[in-house]
Amino acid sequence: MTTPVLEIIGVSKRFGDTLANDGISMSLGKGEIVALLGENGAGKTTLMSILFGHYVPDDGQIRIDGEELPPGKPRAAISAGVGMVHQHFSLASNLTVLENVMTGTERLWKLWSATQAARKKLVSIAERFGLKIDPDARLGDLSVGEQQRVEILKALYNDARILILDEPTAVLTNIEAERLFATLKDMARQGLSLIFISHKLDEVMAAAHRIVVLRGGKVVAGRKASETSKAELAELMVGRRVTRPVREPSTPGAVVLEVRDLGVRIGGVERLKDVDFALREGEVLGIIGVSGNGQVPLARVLSGTLARTSGEILLYGEPVGHLSVGDVVDAGIGRVPEDRNGEGVIGEMSIWENAVLERLPAYSHNGLVDRKAGMAFAKSIIDAFDVRGGTPASGTRLLSGGNMQKLILGRNLSHRPRILIAAQPARGLDEGAVAAVHARILEARKAGTAVLLISEDLDEVISLADRIQAIVAGRLSPPLDAGRIDARRLGLMMSGDWSHAAEATHAP
Amino acid sequence: MRLERREHRPLLLLIGAPIAAIVAALALSGILIAIAGAPVLDAYRRILVGAFGSRLSATETLTRATPLILTGLAAAVAFRARLWNIGAEGQFYLGAIAVAAFGSRLLAELPGPILIPLLLVVGAIAGMALILVPLWLRLRFSVDEVVSSLLMNFIAVLFVSMLIDGVLKDPLAFGWPQSQAVADHATLPKLIARSRLHIGLVIAMVLAVLVYLVQSRTVFGMQSRAAGLNPQGALFAGVPLGRTLVKVACLSGGLAGLAGAIEVMGVKGYVTTDLSPGFGYAGIVVAMLANLNPIGVVFAALFTAIMFVGADGMSRSLGIPTYIADVTVALALLTMLVALFFTQYRIRR
């Protein structure tokens, strides 16, 4: 490789108590494709946001062609030739492709836009990189893959030489993803430099020249794609965490929750299809998968906030109809939602109110809320679950993520639920809080609670689950026992390659 | 420099901030008074004298505050649940005309002790009926109620205008568009003899306390607060969002309708199209000034009434336009929003 076009030198960024980026250094050569690999929360997106000027780093600098980029200025980044393709596209769906691409490139006070010149430039770029697109199509009419192409074209239209793609395949089908990587390779051959963010092992091995692995905000390794393997990358990415609690063997009891052929359609789109699983007392069933594969509707159906379209749910052996939140809570099902701040708590309300809100019938008489009992309950959660930073009457928003999660776990586990639906329970928490949350889940398991753990965190699922099923495109794989699982097999399961995953279990 | 959320809100700050806001608003409009060429302190003294200087002016100020408390409560309960009821003006008129219709003819044969409470209920129901239209549009078709409830005001006022020029027209009003008056025994008892101040003030204040208790103590209050603060979270906790909003809307529309009913039964006796000098809209300002706190609404309504009644007196003696009252109230709203912001955030360098 020639001299680097981009250098990131010692970049650090702290958000509150978490160090999202910790002295990260990396470089990118001309015509090179580098994959930035890491789990959710490893700091990939933060790093790229710093590079693109969305965030100002606390420390460190970015150099492009040897010149330092002023921090916190997206415009400077754009004019230096950095283009960003966001995971959630920054496009307007009511404008045409051409209008979207031109947006932001012209001065506001100009009376006429140079549409003809822009069209010519767009068409020539599209031809050069084989990105076929109709400049006059309305963006909202395009498929997600095509919209992404527009986002890429927009970056190229701004004369980007360095292209950053944030989880570009998260929204794509497999065929679309393959086509995207072919395009990226072609771009690299033509002299562009690319960084793409991913947590999928297959695609980084297939598309990147070089792979930089991030974990906990630090660069843990840089490898050439030709000199590494998926197994090594998985290990580097997941790492070994010693402080987490260990699952003791247990004998699961009767099936308490059984789901057969569950299907959910939202707005005509099939989100869940033929989902089957059985959950037994005293076991943790892990549902692993890359986000957006149906975890959210699955958790919602079981939490009582979404109605299923088809299929059967058997609760304690009895088939049940539509489940409301009240039904679910009354049936002894504890719920830990994926989005703590959005769903789990109401930040502007006090801790005691959040503790009793889902059980108001039990904490009220004749329509009057029993404040005293609510306060006492909140106090008992705070004491028993070590919730720090608040009193029963103080605002819930002031709690840190970990303490908020302890509150949510506490209000559920205090009532000794027979079933616990936990969606991404440790997401975004620091190590200490993760360990506490995991310990609580294992404690509940030991007490006989059946736990459904929906998670994207390989490490979490491996350390907690007795059996594991992967969720891919709204379907569940057959279950595999945890004893036969390692990161590589999980990767295969999560990619939808269920037959190979099962075979791999027979290999030494 | 950046803003940081306060972890603790000292009591002194919570009490001091609204006072500071009012002082700041008075200081700012003082500049305008000075520009108009009048002595500022004297102008404010005259406002106070105009509002409280005599038995007549004091009762007049309290009479003016009564509908403002009710429309202020109507806005406060709705806004708490993030239901943007901008239609209190229309609900006020509908409550008023319903009372005029039932109180002058349909129910006028009933004895007073039965008729008065019945009419109050009729007025409240009329207000509820009007708000259910925009609410239904929102729940069924996701129509933004800010626009639909606002537009209902014009429909309501024109509807009232049609009635008082038609079936409900008072034949003794020399051709003026004016409704028939409610029966004498349907008027609200006076609080103080030989004044316009009536028992409606007590009703309004009792309702403020009741609304406060409902919001802070009941299941419905907690659920409506949850629905307003975080609908997603409320849904997850099992709060029936639609049903809660219907209840909130009924409460809000009912209070606004009641304001109209009380204004007719307590002060005017009949309905004209200038029955309300914008009580419905002023209620929004009152609610915001009170930070949506039902008890605060009483004080905010009083402040607004003082400014409006007092400015009349000041205007007469100093020759300053009465619009200074509008300006002061509007400035107070802005300074109050700033003050409330700083009770929640602090500036850090």
Average pLDDT, stretch B181-204? Answer: 90
Chain centroid to CA A193: how far?
A: 26
The verdict on residue B119 lying in a domain is: yes
Residues of A in contact with B234 (CB under 8 A): 346, 357
pLDDT of res. B96: 96
Contact map slice: B 39-68 vs A, CB within 8 A: none
CA distance A474 to A158: 37
Are residue A200 and residue A306 in the same domain, yes or no? no
Q: Closest chain A residue to B216 measured between Cα atoms?
A: A369
Domain total in chain B: 1
Q: How confident is the model at residue B247 (pLDDT cuts 50, 70, 90)?
A: very high
**Residue B226 and residue A344: Cβ atoms within 8 Å?**
no
Are residue A455 and residue A337 in the same domain, yes or no? yes
Are residue A268 and residue A292 in the same domain, yes or no? yes
A133-187 pLDDT, tens per residue?
A: 888 888 888 877 788 889 889 888 888 899 999 888 876 766 778 888 998 999 9
The verdict on residue B229 lying in a domain is: yes
Place of tokens 């919001």: B215
Q: Closest chain B residue to A360 measured between Cα atoms?
A: B219
pLDDT of res. A1: 47
Are residue A38 and residue A59 in the same domain, yes or no? yes
Q: Which residues make Cβ contacts (< 8 Å) with residue B153, sequence separation at least 6?
A: B86, B87, B89, B90, B280
The verdict on residue A409 lying in a domain is: no
Are residue A171 and residue A283 in the same domain, yes or no? no
**Residue B236 and residue A371: Cβ atoms within 8 Å?**
no
Are residue A52 and residue A117 in the same domain, yes or no? no
* B226 and A CB contact within 8 Å: yes
Place of tokens 């070089």: A210
Average pLDDT, stretch A287-308? Answer: 89
The verdict on residue B215 lying in a domain is: yes
pLDDT of res. A505: 47
Nearest residue, CB atoms, B233 vs list A335, A346, A371: A346
Residues of B in contact with A367 (CB under 8 A): 218-220
> Which CATH number is A315's domain given?
3.40.50.300
Are residue A137 and residue A199 in the same domain, yes or no? no
The verdict on residue B101 lying in a domain is: yes
DSSP-derived 3-state class of residue B336: helix
**Residue B219 and residue A360: Cβ atoms within 8 Å?**
yes
- ipTM associated with this complex: 0.81
Residues of A in contact with B230 (CB under 8 A): 342, 346-348
* A327 and B CB contact within 8 Å: no
* Residue closest to B91 by CA, chosen among B21, B180, B156: B156
The verdict on residue B267 lying in a domain is: yes
Residue B203: left if φ>0, alpha if ψ -120 to 50, beta else—which one? alpha
pLDDT of res. B167: 86
**Residue B237 and residue A325: Cβ atoms within 8 Å?**
yes
Q: Which domain holds residue A141?
A: 92-159
Residues of A in contact with B219 (CB under 8 A): 360, 364, 367-369
* A72 and B CB contact within 8 Å: no
The verdict on residue A386 lying in a domain is: no
pLDDT of res. A244: 57
The verdict on residue A361 lying in a domain is: no
Q: Which residues make Cβ contacts (< 8 Å) with residue A394, sequence separation at least 6?
A: A350, A351
Q: Which domain holds residue B103?
A: 70-283
Q: How many CB pairs under 8 A join A and B?
A: 69
Q: How confident is the model at residue A506 (pLDDT cuts 50, 70, 90)?
A: very low
Q: What percent of chain A has pLDDT over 90?
A: 35
Q: Closest chain B residue to A336 measured between Cα atoms?
A: B236
DSSP-derived 3-state class of residue B163: helix
Nearest residue, CB atoms, B7 vs list A324, A369, A398: A398
* Residue closest to A285 by CA, chosen among A321, A320, A247: A247
Average pLDDT, stretch B222-243? Answer: 92
The verdict on residue B313 lying in a domain is: no
Q: Which residues make Cβ contacts (< 8 Å) with residue A439, sequence separation at least 6?
A: A245
Residue bearing the bigger pLDDT, A239 or A383: A383
Are residue A339 and residue A483 in the same domain, yes or no? yes
**Which amino acid does the sequence have at A303?**
S
Exposed/middle/buried for residue A288 (C-beta within 10 Å: 0-12, 13-18, 19+): buried
A224-273 pLDDT, tens per residue?
A: 988 888 777 877 776 654 455 677 777 888 999 999 999 999 877 888 99
Query: Longest Cα pair distance anywhere in chain A, in angstroms?
Result: 77
The verdict on residue A206 lying in a domain is: yes
Residues of B in contact with A360 (CB under 8 A): 219, 222-223, 238
Are residue A196 and residue A262 in the same domain, yes or no? no
Are residue A333 and residue A438 in the same domain, yes or no? yes
Q: Which of B2, B79, B219 to mutate to test the interface with A (most CBs of A within 10 A)?
A: B219
Residue B264 has pLDDT above 80, yes or no: yes
B103-143 pLDDT, tens per residue?
A: 988 777 888 788 999 999 999 999 999 999 999 999 889 89
The verdict on residue B276 lying in a domain is: yes
The verdict on residue A457 lying in a domain is: yes
**Residue A348 and residue B230: Cβ atoms within 8 Å?**
yes
Nearest residue, CB atoms, B232 vs list A342, A358, A369: A342
CA distance A44 to A199: 10
Domain total in chain A: 3
* Residue closest to B135 by CA, chosen among B254, B278, B261: B254
The verdict on residue A249 lying in a domain is: no
Across A30-171, the runs of DSSP E, i.e. the strands, are 33-37, 59-64, 67-68, 82-85, 162-165
The verdict on residue A470 lying in a domain is: yes
Are residue A53 and residue A195 in the same domain, yes or no? yes
Are residue A100 and residue A186 in the same domain, yes or no? no
The verdict on residue A413 lying in a domain is: no
